[in-house]
Amino acid sequence: MQKIHATTILAILHNGSVAIGGDGQATMGNTVAKSNVKKIRKLHEGKVIAGFAGSTADAFTLLDRFEEKLNAYGGNMKRASIELAKDWRMDRYLRRLEAMLIAINKEEILVISGTGDVLEPDNQVAAIGSGAMYAQSAALALKKHAPHLTAEEMVRESLNIAADICIYTNHNLVIEKI
């Protein structure tokens, strides 16, 4: 799987609720270019939410294509993800895009990459970006040791932990839930 720097996106499905969040930092090399970028976007009339890591322009191109696929397949997130991944891998233009996506709906979380991967994460926790492993580790610990927390609370706390450690992740969080 490709390594994407400069953000952290985390999604958690827990006790029947699902939440996704991301930080707001955009970097150019080793400089913070903007601190309040919104990397989470509602799609398909708010029934699907996606977050991206990687090049912003590339990610918006992919989000637009993903929304087209969602509309073409009646909101079937898994089918739309698979079709996007196939196009992403095969299309000459899309193949050059440097980004990853996490998509959620009420029932599932999917990670979509340009290498053709559509992954359903173990433990109903998915993370992408430079701070992904910090956020994912925190989320797994919270699911195990603080099961009374909501998915939204777990996403917030995990992203804050990642922001404390990862220099490409900040504390300007955007969190959405379905």
Q: Do the Cβ atoms of 131 and 8 come closer than 8 Å?
A: yes
Question: If you compute the radius of gyration of the chain from its CA atoms, what whole number of angstroms results?
Answer: 15
Question: Could you say which of 7, 8, 27, 169 is catalytic?
Answer: 7
- The one-character DSSP state at 89 is H
Q: How far apart are CA 24 and CA 175, in angstroms?
A: 11
Q: Do the Cβ atoms of 139 and 12 come closer than 8 Å?
A: yes
Q: How far apart are CA 25 and CA 149, in angstroms?
A: 26
How far from 173 is each of 61, 80, 86, 104, 145, CA to CA, in Å?
Answer: 22, 27, 31, 17, 23
Lookup: tokens for 163: 């922001």
169 an active-site residue? Answer: no
**Helical H runs in 27-178?**
56-72, 77-90, 92-95, 132-145, 151-165
Question: Hey, which residues are catalytic here?
Answer: 7
